[in-house]
Structure 1
Amino acid sequence: MAVWQVVAVAVIAAVAGMESVLDEWQWHRPLLACTLIGLVLGHVGTGMAVGATLELTALGWMNIGASQSPDTALASVISAVLAIRAGNDVNQAIAIAIPLAVAGNLLTVLVRTLTIYFQHLSDRMSIDNEQTALFRLNFAALSLQALRVAVPSVLFTIFVSPAMMDRLFSFLPKPLTDGFTAASGFIVVVGYAMVIRSLQVDKLMPYFFLGFLAADFSNITLVAMGILAVAVAWLHVRVWARHDAPGADLPAEEESAPASIRRLPSAVLWRVFWRSQLLQASWNYERMQGMGYAYIVEPTLNFFFPEPEVRLARKLRHVEFFNTQPYVANIVVGINLALEERLQTGDPRYDRLVTSIKLGMMGPLAGVGDSIFWGTLRPLLASLGATIALTGNILGPILFFVGWNILRLAVRWSLLQYGYQLGVRIVNVIATGVLRQVTEMATIVGLIVMGALVADWASIHFAIHWQVGHGQTMSLTQLLNGLFPKLPELLLVLGVLWLLRKGWSSVWVILLLFSLGIVGVYAHVLAA
């Protein structure tokens, strides 16, 4: 392997490591990371095949709140390198990718714990260093995430040869490797169950079964299923379950800004917009997005408060706890920009309202954002792109990348402008019940899509078969397909959902399913 290829692998791994915490451009997702690795190593088809297969496995892997999912970045880079160096063997790569994702999760937890140190350094900002402190601290935290993936990926690329991998797989017992292969068919249910749990379904769970049955007993495509889901969600909110929104008739009162204060120019607003994509750069287990939030609003504080003492005090005010879905966070940012603008008058009411807005809105907005982006749009676009990529068409990864980022950037900019223009009036908008209706619609769409994905992509193959006369045999899988296709997969996802709600971590559930795969193959119950 040429030196430039090793360097390229290191760069891709570093970007994937940073993206795994930022969750913005999606370079850490298998469909994109594996394709890039295949491109630089001269086997783009193999990279796409690994990435598409692993993407369909990891559709529901997401970081919500303080919960940590298996690491797609490390698994994607190393599995693609492995497939190419082992003679384009996609099956071997996938078999080892998920254990790598679980192992990488431990490194992610370690780095997010170490980042607490940088959070504490932000509390000690002074007038001498406050102009650069937030940038340096966020960059340092993000660099650790880059090294977390880049270092093991480079070591693997340099020192692991195809012959070593052949010896490794020949050394491993066949029930173990076949068990990994069998489990890789149904390990996807963990991600789906995580999505369902994050949606907080309550009485809406029947919509999951609707999506499952529609996909299980028909040939409906995923795109058509998404359109159907939106139509059903609209009918539910607007027709079947009409709500009298509290406060719907309340007028939204606009507070005019005093003529003496400086208005925020568009150039500063654009700087805030671009910085908003670094909200999670320093995510840690103590104040989560707090330091990233302070870095986002910093251009506004520099503009509104030229006095160093006042400006420092405002920055320290914003390193407090904050955590929500990153794409919808800009509505909170926009509202607080308007409040900071009014703080130039010296009215202390706005200072208290800054914190109240952040803490009061971050929870409800997280539910909306998680449902729309993590629970609906990303699985929909990623599965569509992966399906295209499995045919060998490079348009699959391109479609996912372009479609996702157009939506993401448009939502970020629109919500930032919306929040800033409305200012404190956004509180009255929330009181109308619009937010609750959007959340409910997104939840229904997410549940229907997840049900369809379980029917389309989860697979359990049984090794049990018996004679039916005249030399013919029937397998348990054939029998179940004739009665109720995908019933075992449905029961499995419900069982995993039950374990997650009982407090099991996703990592332990994945380990349990791998164990079931190995034991099932060894006992001749499951087939690889």
Structure 2
Amino acid sequence: MVNSPVQTRPRIRKIDLFRVFLRSFFIQSLWNFRGLISVGFGVCLFPVLKRLYPDRTDQKERVEFLRRHFKFFNAHPYMASYALGVTIRLEEEAAAGHPEACQKLERLKDLLITILGALGDQLFWATIKPASLLVGTLGLLWFQDTAPRLAILAITFLLYNVPHFYIRYLGIVDGYQKGLEVYQSFNSASFARLQRFYLVIGVGALVVLTVSLALQFSGQGWLPLATYLAAVGVAIGFERISGNFYLAILFSVIFFVFVGFLFL
């Protein structure tokens, strides 16, 4: 039996990974109910498509490439970078004459949907985003001058986007380098340390913000203070019931405003 020759294809370069990184910021721009982020995911891979299949004679391979990645796919938009990295690695193997890589890729992407969604939601939506929001709110409450407030806004922006940008790029590089072994990245202690770091920041900012507002309202009489403390209680209770930080804040604000119109 004669083995089929391995095809010679261009190798993926660092500039290709960087181009995918830039496109990944728009991964949700073509979101739809049928495929969710699948179209955006496929568009992110255009630099890879052009690198692996540069000739017009590669039309069939290009069509098959796009069909594979325009199928249903969903993940946290930042953590999807890991799926992009793995995809680039396996597509490179497939272009080099290993068709089984495509089958492995489809199975792996199905597994990554749940993993990346859960990890990203817990890390960013439930920890980093609320912590950054609380720090920004606390800073705006403490400072009244324009310059300090602009500084606080800059700090809040960096506090949220430094891990965002880092993980978005790291995921592509890490996924490409590890390929099918990318699951090792999800067991890394670095994610746990990052989450603990922002959890400490968030809890600290929340405590300071709560005490600061309580002291501010206490100087206006017992009724504003009681209303504020009741709103805090509503927020805590609703968060325990729903598990949603943002809805808890929304309902506490609505409660505070409603009671204020009635009694203040």
TM superposition score category, shorter chain reference:
0.7 to 0.9
Summarize deviations over 1:82-128 as a string: whole Å, max 9, x none: xxxxxxxxxxxxxxxxxxxxxxxxxxxxxxxxxxxxxxxxxxxxxxx
1:491 to 1:517, Cα distance in 2 relative to 1, 3 A: closer
What's the C-alpha RMSD, in Å, of the aligned pairs?
3.7
Contact 2:231 2:255 in 1 (8 A): no
Contact 2:10 2:52 in 1 (8 A): yes
Matched, 1:299 2:52: no
1:494 matched to which residue of 2? 236
Deviation at 1:420, TM superposition (A): 0.9
The match for 1:374 among 125, 133, 149 is 125
Distance 1:347 1:492 in 2: 58
Deviation at 1:297, TM superposition (A): 0.8
Amino acid aligned to 1:344: A
Q: Please state whether the residue corresponding to 1:278 is helix, strand or coil.
A: coil
2:208 matched to which residue of 1? 456
Q: Gaps spanning 5+ residues in structure 1: where?
A: 1-257, 464-473, 481-485
Deviation at 1:295, TM superposition (A): 0.4
Amino acid aligned to 2:175: G
Distance 1:304 1:355 in 2: 19
1:385 to 1:285, Cα distance in 2 relative to 1, 3 A: same
Q: Which moved more, 1:451-460 or 1:350-359?
A: 451-460
Deviation at 1:453, TM superposition (A): 4.2
Distance 1:266 1:364 in 2: 26
Matched, 1:521 2:263: no
The match for 1:396 among 152, 171, 190 is 152
2:74 matched to which residue of 1? 323
Contact 1:381 1:404 in 2 (8 A): yes
Contact 2:41 2:70 in 1 (8 A): yes
Matched, 1:333 2:89: no
Contact 1:382 1:400 in 2 (8 A): yes
1:309 to 1:454, Cα distance in 2 relative to 1, 3 A: same
1:499 to 1:285, Cα distance in 2 relative to 1, 3 A: farther
Amino acid aligned to 2:91: E
Distance 2:32 2:11 in 1: 33
Distance 1:408 1:280 in 2: 15
Distance 1:365 1:434 in 2: 12
1:310 to 1:489, Cα distance in 2 relative to 1, 3 A: same
Q: Relative to total residues, which structure has the larger helix share, 1 or 2?
A: 2
Within 5 A, what are the aligned runs for 1:120-199?
none
Contact 1:368 1:439 in 2 (8 A): no
2:222 matched to which residue of 1? 475
Q: Which moved more, 1:402-411 or 1:297-306?
A: 402-411
Distance 1:378 1:281 in 2: 21
Deviation at 1:460, TM superposition (A): 7.5
The match for 2:112 among 342, 345, 361 is 361
Amino acid aligned to 2:260: V
1:262 to 1:355, Cα distance in 2 relative to 1, 3 A: same
Amino acid aligned to 2:222: S
Distance 1:457 1:401 in 2: 19
Distance 1:417 1:339 in 2: 13
Summarize deviations over 1:317-372 as a string: whole Å, max 9, x none: 10122222222221211111010001124433211222222221232233333333
Matched, 1:351 2:102: yes
Distance 1:382 1:517 in 2: 19
The match for 1:274 among 22, 27, 33 is 22
1:408 matched to which residue of 2? 164
Matched, 1:419 2:166: no
Taking structure 2 as the reference length, what is the TM-score of the superposition?
0.73
Deviation at 1:279, TM superposition (A): 0.9
Q: Gaps spanning 5+ residues in structure 2: where?
A: 1-5
Distance 1:382 1:518 in 2: 21
Contact 2:76 2:121 in 1 (8 A): yes
Amino acid aligned to 1:316: R
